[in-house]
Structure 1
Amino acid sequence: MNDFPVAPTSRIDGSRENQALVLIAEDEPEIADILIAYLKRSGFQTAHALDGRRALEMHQALKPDLMLLDVLMPNLDGWMVLAEIRHRGNTPVIMLTAQDQDMDKLMGLRIGADDYIVKPFNPAEVVARTQAVLRRSIDYGHNTRRSVLRVDKFEIDIENHDVTVCIGAEKLPLALTVTEFKLLAQLAKAPKRVFSRAELLATCSPESDSLERTVDSHISKLRRKIEDLGLQGVPASIRGVGYRFGSIQ
């Protein structure tokens, strides 16, 4: 069904087709209104959902460029929404939460969040983080020259943010988060080189204050997805040093 009626619990602002669309899933209208104002001022379109279930409906219908997702929401919490978003594909997601705990951050990263902002926050920082994550998503905008990396059984389309894995005569899609894609592409550009965690963090999340161990979390999730396709050892861990792309056995 292509038509999506905007219900009273949702709001869409902006009109230019060349604006990126940010879906805000936040059950506190005052916070949502502030974010909408700042995002519009920076040239974004916005859509607002007041609960988790509505957020999933709007994500399916509107296909936003990025999602700002509150953790504590009615009907479905942010973790459940994030898990479903990741099941569907690789929409960039920034988590918004009042919980400033390492375990909560690591949970978000394991499920597939691309960034994590703790309340209370400066709305200007949220806009800056949004712009940074969209830049890292590679296919934001239309000025990137098409480039496809082919390493072993992998084809990595930099412009379209697509990864396919050749298994026999089949080409199987590999759905990754923005950060997972960035890590895989960085490793694939120099498949024999070993990258330190600090290098990968600086390349794939330069604006973040994340710790180097969060790279391990992203790499682990990336490796599991590749293993689900029947391939082992990609990316490869180099004890005491970091990671390299790895070789297919």
Structure 2
Amino acid sequence: MTGAQAAVPAFTLVHAFDFSRDADSAQGAHATLSGDVQVRGGVLAVRGDNAFAEYAGLIPSAENGADTWWTVSLWARQTPGTGTAAEAVMVGQGVVSGYLPEFALSLRPSAGGGSEVVGINQSGWAGARSAPVADTGVWHHYAVAMAENVVLLWVDGQYIGHGGAGWNYSTPYFHGNMRLGRQVSSFGGQFNGDLDDVRIYSGRLDDTTVQAQFMAGPSVSAVPEPASALMALAGGALLWGRLSARRNRPA
């Protein structure tokens, strides 16, 4: 474990979104929906341009303190064929000079082809960390923890590492609204796909907690649909049982 992970501060769940009924958090954060975004099938389904759910600022501010940590974790499944030419912001809050969010967790094309997930603190000025994503068309779990100038990243339960500047840059305040599905500005950053189990913590998660979230899976797939082959097998067994019962039934 790296030095950046040596001391794990206590963490508290601030907001949780399971999208079982609406886009509000269990703690009462109200969502304003814009464009083609809706709660459907237990997920936040984001489709098309200018589609997002917006909230008052929910990510705790790191006011003057590199020891102030916060974490965002979520499940995401990007629609294949989208987001191949630009950044696809899954969650972001705050705006720097009207351009980019103070914080963003996004998917984007990687230099060597394919896609990568990126956690950015202060638009990359104070810290960033990225990792390749094998297939954005399936569910993946992402968690990013940030302090004043440090970014920690987990992908599918695995700790990727930390990134950050070698200097103590000005404190990120994260004042402004938070969005799910699009960058907090008019410069793009549109995500297309499904989001589930979005959680915001004050403090930093540890490896064990992140791994447990990954193993639990997204809530939408907690009870997976049986495969067609299994359904056919079950149907055949049921039919055989009925035929046997008829043959053995007393006259």
How does the TM-score come out when normalised to structure 2? 0.26
Task: Choose between structure 1 and 2 for higher RCO, CA contacts under 8 A separated by at least 6 residues.
Answer: 2
Structure showing the higher helix proportion among its residues: 1
How does the TM-score come out when normalised to structure 1? 0.26
